[in-house]
Structure 1
């Protein structure tokens, strides 16, 4: 947008104060200087992963958020939620924080294997159980980035879970 206003005031009204998740934002291409439309965030829910099972979540490549923040969430039928945050850039994945209700996650890391990021194991010792069968391990999981847009989740809890992953552009 090129606006020539000389000494006159310029007013732009009715703009959104916060970008809704289903809207794109305008960004400047660092090489060409062109203004382009880009996704601000993207959310995907894994298929249900049984206790001890492994699942994969892929962010479509056309979303094009190679660096940003990742949030992983899961809940139970008692209304309790686990949430963890990570910062990522290409194949690097760094854990930031984890909490499940009133328990701070205990984090371990190990090599994710050839071509993968660090593998992050998160446990929430003695988190409150739930009538759905979830015990003190119900929110425990492992996360590793196995490809540019692919994440593998291991459900280390005692009940099946679906995990919600949201990536945000930084």
Structure 2
């Protein structure tokens, strides 16, 4: 029960410090591949802990969470990804999973490459408090901006 899993309609507050990717708040479902699936590639904060690095070739997904010591191959169809026995739906910078977990986009691989930035995991931590309000903070700079997001589930 120690996993950080916001309730389906809880608010997730992301503190993006100076230098953090502006793309963190934005989904990238509009860039669908010719094969009929969305672009899931990027870095995501896992509500269960750690950062998930997602790479993609056509509609084949590879996800890896070093903190939780797992990696998994999966398939995407449209805006959905099928991993283990759960289904994730990509929308507005979130992957909402059928088991109530949520992944929040931290860095979009294509945007990082376009800007000449390295696509590397950064240090983040999340803390959930009363009312299922979670704070996600990047440990880099002292000056931070705050953005609030309502997580969505099917």
Q: TM-score, normalised by structure 1?
A: 0.29
Q: TM-score, normalised by structure 2?
A: 0.31
